[in-house]
Structures are given as structure tokens and as C-alpha cells.
Amino acid sequence: MAEQSIAVEVAYALPHKQKIVSLVVPEGTSVLEAVRLSRIGEHFPELDIETSPMGIFGKAVAKPAERVISPGERVEIYRALIADPKEVRKQRAAAKAKADKQTTE
């Protein structure tokens, strides 16, 4: 019996550069194997595929080496946040409050 193949995508993004690689992998391929097969690391030399967190359509995958990818899924490779989202919201709210106060005076 012939091995079945499935179409998937692998995505990685930086603020100034994004890449989505479409590829066909053997059925039963893990998330991590799909990323390796995509060779996306060639476009982003600083990317450490073995340790980077990954997800599928915005949902984190705890064990990319064990999670089998399904047809049509998009693997996303995540990078560290530059700033704490809560802190950014606080700063934005404080700036807005200050601006509102100045316009009402």
C-alpha cells in the first residue's frame, strides 16, 4: 500500500519579514518534522527550530515532536514577546488618560 501524503503549511514571522511555506509531507508526520522538512530555518538563520515554541492555527502545541499534523493545518513557529502585554496596556491607558486630561483643561 502506498504511503499517503498531506498538504500543510509552516509559518514564521518577524516584524519586518514573514514566510509561509506550503509543502506535502507523509501522513503521520509530526509538527516538528514538518517544520524541519519545510527548511524554513534557511530563511531565518537565527531561528532554533528544536527549541522554539510551536502551535497550529494559534493554539500552542505542548509536544511538537509527538503531535501528528493533519491535512491542511498550518504550523506556526512562535518567538518571544518583546514586551509584556499587560504592561503595554497599562502604558497605553495612562497615556490616553493624560491626553484626555489635557484636552479637558
Q: Which domains does the chain have, with CATH numbers?
A: 5-80 (3.10.20.280)
User: Does the predicted model carry a pTM greater than 0.85?
Assistant: no
Q: In what order do the strands lie in the sheet with 18-26?
A: 18-26, 5-13, 74-77, 54-56, 59-61
Q: Examine the pLDDT at 62 and tell me if it is beyond 90.
A: yes
Q: How far apart are CA 2 and CA 74, in angstroms?
A: 24
% pLDDT > 90, the chain: 66
pLDDT at 97: 82
pLDDT at 94: 86
